[in-house]
Chain A
Amino acid sequence: MQPTSLAFKQNAHRALADPALQQALGFARTGFQQKRADAAARLPEFEALRDAAKAIKDHTLAHLDLYLEAFERKVVEQGGKVHWARDDAEARAIVLRLCREAGARSVTKSKSMIAEEIGLNEALEAAGIARVETDLGEYIVQLAGQTPSHILAPAIHMTKSQVSQLFAKHHGTPPLDEPEALLGEARRVLRQRYFEADVGITGANFLVAETGSIVLVTNEGNAELTQGLPTTHIAIASIDKLVPTLDDACTLLRVLARSATGQEFSAYTTFLTGPRRAADLDGPKSFHVVLLDNGRSAMIGTELQDMLRCIRCGACMNHCPVYLATGGHAYGWVYPGPMGAVLTPSFIGIEQGRHLPSASTFCGRCEQVCPMRIPLPRMMRYWREQHFAGPSSPPVQRYATRLWAFAAKRAWLYQPAARLIVALLGAMGRRTGRFRRLPLAGGWTVSRDLPAPQGKTFQSRWRARPASRP
């Protein structure tokens, strides 16, 4: 996927002017936040569970090499295969090779952000393999020729009527008003595709070292049909999805669903261990796990390690006022919202991704709701520091900051300068108490009046106060 993160401002401008998108985001805001808050309130031990979940991931990351090898051993013992991919190109090549070996003409796919990260969809298309997305939101996004704008709800940027028009165009259906009718239509089309597919590709919410299992979470049951019906199942997952034991996976599942959708548990939670055994009634004949690094192991031991705790619940974006204003596409790459503001520079570089960590008020709601207690603002600040010191830092901003800091470090200079500016602005704004326009303040006055200073600094008034005070 060609990133457009560098054009974040232009992307945001378009998004803010798109009434359908704004309407769709309005629904997102009210739904997700209230559901998470209610789910957290219903569980007295929710905060303790967050601590436990964090501890599990911290422990796993500290011993990741051991758990990865243990996981591979267990997968092989069950008759499956593990493929190691250093980067996106290797991962694509592995998946395409496995598809060719399976003689695949068509594949079904259940939602996987890793597939987006490695550009798998384009690669399958280029290889002439038909791909059908089986998650309803992903299916909608595929029909529209778009990419997901949210890691859980890929089509959250679209309204019901847009989806209805899309189905009318591609399926020739009459306009459908009810969500149930739209769902029924998608189900009718998808059902046949499940049976036709030669390979099923899924992601994985967790990888369990103890048993070599992968854990899949959906509300539509589509991942189960995707992995179980074709003869070959390929699960693609990044190395940070690992947990030591089944118990650990269950702890994480308890915070995942509550943080994501406010459910106690997702409608479908499936533990998959190896390919079909002799006595099994169904399941794939061959089972492959593609483990993707793509820069993650390099984050271990750095300022960014905490980010690898992320379980992709989406709570950070559901509570982010910037995400809820612009939607996910404005972020210009795979991962939107606060988690994207940290991950995008990690994966495509701070030069390309520099706007994302900068476009935050540091309001802290993401960290407040993150079930894994990832200090997202702290990591955005880390990226700001890298950018400030780097070659692409805009000179005007850098010099303005440095000039201000130069004065702020010298009270003998700062205070007279402040008195002068405040006196000038105070006199200019004396009558109205505010400015509608002011040179160099265009970013502010484009939509707000600037309050005029009262005319003297506090410190000059304080020092000039009558000597009666001690």
Chain B
Amino acid sequence: MSQPHVALLVTCLVDLFRPSVGFAAVKLLERAGCRVDVPRQTCCGQPAYNQGDRADAVLIARQTIAAFAGYDYVVAPSGSCAGMLRKHYPALFDEASAEGAAARDLAARTFELISFLTDVRGIDAVEASLAARATYHDSCSGLRELGIREQPRRLLASVRGLQLDELPNAEVCCGFGGTFCVKYPEISTRMVSDKVADIEATGADLVLAGDLGCLMNIAGRLKRQGSRVEARHVAEVLAGDLDAPPIAAAR
């Protein structure tokens, strides 16, 4: 497989809120020797699945499985959405059915962007530079569903000028949790406030993560508190795509 054919699972948050992350992902994948396509897509169905709307989750999964058939790999700039395809799609269908087999086939081809670059494409350094002090937030699904921890740190270490300080309590959720953050705003606020305090304590001026859900939550709280800490998706820094203003920042 000299030039693997990769389908980008854009993720609905990147599609709607921050296309620059999608373009950064495409750039990184192309630099890693992949041919990238973007099949027509909506959302992976995780919001329905987590709300208990299994019937709709199944229907949306079926449509995603069809849209991403035939590609060597499916790559998402999100641990959460990649986790949905990898870990949860197979559980939505009867194991013995053809659909179950198709879901498992998709699951085996699906990866989160950064771990795909390191673990599948063997990338261990990027051509990028950024003079900043940064800290990295592990998303829960990336960390615990997909075992992503060291990969983004390794690639970030190769960014010239970037100093990476470890975030205390890195294993703790930021309080986003999809609809959780609007259904239980007070608890979510407490969680994101703790997270933001830990971020501030590092002295970093930039917080990075691999999931836009966490990042919007964290950036939104940082801004509300008047913090000077900026937030970006890790792909933007690794691709050297810093033209877009940081998340929730003015143009």
Contacts and interface: CB of A to CB of B under 8 A. Distances in A.
A209 B224 CA distance: 59
Interface in A51-91: none
Contacts of A384: 50-52
B42 A321 contact: no
B52 A361 contact: no
Interface stretch (B103-111, B150-158, B240-248): B240-248
Contacts of B186: 9, 12-13, 16
A358 to B, nearest CB: 7
Nearest to B18: A454
Given A361-B180, A443-B182, A453-B17, A321 B220 contact: no
B38 A433 contact: no
A468 interface: no
Contacts of A462: 22, 38
Nearest to A367: B144
A387 B53 CA distance: 10
Interface residues of B, number: 69
A418 B15 contact: yes
A450 to B, nearest CB: 6
A469 to B, nearest CB: 9
A5 to B, nearest CB: 14
A404 B144 CA distance: 28
A448 B221 contact: yes
Interface residues of A, number: 68
- Name the prevailing secondary structure of the A interface residues: helix
Contacts of A358: 180, 183-184
Interface in A302-331: 321-322, 325-326
B177 A362 contact: yes
Interface string A415-458: 10010011000000011111010000101101111111110111
Contact of A414 (B42, B177, B181, B185): B42
Contacts of B161: none
B14 to A, nearest CB: 6
A401 interface: yes
B41 interface: yes
B17 A454 contact: yes
Nearest to A450: B220
B19 A454 contact: yes
B40 A411 contact: yes
A439 B251 CA distance: 23
A405 interface: yes
Contacts of A359: 180, 183-184, 187
Interface stretch (B94-102, B122-130, B189-197): B189-197
Interface string B50-74: 1111101001100100000000000
A365 B249 contact: no
Contacts of B113: none
Contact of B144 (A364, A421, A436, A452): A364
Nearest to A451: B248
B200 interface: no
Given A361-B173, A381-B49, 10 more contacts: A9-B186, A326-B187, A363-B144, A404-B47, A409-B59, A409-B63, A447-B192, A449-B223, A451-B216, A454-B17
Interface of A: 9, 12-13, 16, 321-322, 325-326, 358-365, 367-368, 381, 383-389, 393, 397-398, 401-402, 404-405, 407-411, 414-415, 418, 421-422, 430-434, 436, 441, 443-444, 446-454, 456-459, 461-462, 470
15 contacts: A326-B187, A358-B183, A360-B177, A362-B50, A362-B140, A367-B144, A388-B54, A393-B52, A397-B183, A408-B56, A415-B40, A431-B250, A433-B248, A454-B20, A470-B35
CB-CB nearest 3 A-B residue pairs: A361-B177, A443-B182, A388-B52
